[in-house]
Amino acid sequence: MVDHANDIKSMKLYTHIDRVYRELNELGKGPEDLLDTSELAAFDQLHYHGVDAVQYAVDTLNISDRSSVLEIGSGFGGPARHIAKQAQCRVTALELQPDQNTVARELTERCGLSSLLNHRCGDFMDTDWSDETFDAIVSWLAIYHIPDRKRLLEISSQLLGDDGMFFTEDLYCRQSLEPDENQLMSTGLYAAHLPDFDTYLREFEQAGFEIVESRDMSEDWAEFTSNRLQDYRNKRNRHIRVHNLETYQAMEGFYSFVNGCFLSGKLGGIRLMARKSD
Ligand SMILES: C[S@@+](CC[C@H](N)C(=O)[O-])C[C@H]1O[C@@H](n2cnc3c(N)ncnc32)[C@H](O)[C@@H]1O
Domain boundaries, the chain: 4-170+187-217+268-276
CA of 225 to the centre of ligand 1 (A): 19
Q: What is the mean pLDDT of the chain?
A: 97
Q: Summarize the confidence of residues 44-65 as an average pLDDT.
A: 98
The preferred substitution site among 3, 9, 46, 54 for testing ligand 1, maximizing ligand atoms within 8 Å of CB, is 46
Q: CA 82: distance to chain centroid?
A: 13
Cβ-contact 164, 135 below 8 angstroms: yes
pLDDT of residue 2: 81
pLDDT in tens, 208-267: 999 999 999 999 999 999 999 999 999 999 999 999 999 999 999 999 999 999 999 999
Which residue's C-alpha comes closest to atom 18 of ligand 1?
A: 123
Per-residue model confidence (pLDDT) at position 43: 97
Question: Residue 264: its pLDDT value, please?
Answer: 96
Does 278 have pLDDT greater than 90?
no
Span 115-144, mean pLDDT? 97
Q: Is the pLDDT of residue 1 over 80?
A: no
Pocket of ligand 1, candidates 54, 74, 76, 255: which has the most ligand atoms within 8 Å of its Cβ, to mutate? 74
The closest-lying atom of ligand 1 relative to the alpha carbon of residue 100 is: 27
Annotation: CATH topology of 4-170+187-217+268-276: Rossmann fold (3.40.50)
6 CA to middle of ligand 1, Å?
13
Of 138, 6, 7, the residue nearest 69 (C-alpha):
138
pLDDT in tens, 140-196: 999 999 999 999 999 999 999 999 999 999 999 999 999 999 999 999 999 999 999
Nearest CA to ligand 1 atom 22: 73
For residue 118, with 0-12 CB atoms within 10 Å meaning exposed, 13-18 middle and 19 or more buried, which class applies?
middle
* Ligand 1 first shell, C-beta below 6 A: 8, 45-47, 72-75, 78-79, 94-97, 100, 123-125, 140-142, 145-146
pLDDT classification of 26: cutoffs 50, 70, 90: very high
Atom of ligand 1 nearest to the CA of 124: 20
Residue nearest to atom 14 of ligand 1 (CA): 73
Quick one: which atom of ligand 1 is closest to the CA of 127?
Answer: 20
Q: How far is the CA of 146 from the centre of ligand 1 (A)?
A: 10
- Among protein residues, the one with the nearest Cα to ligand 1's atom 12 is 73
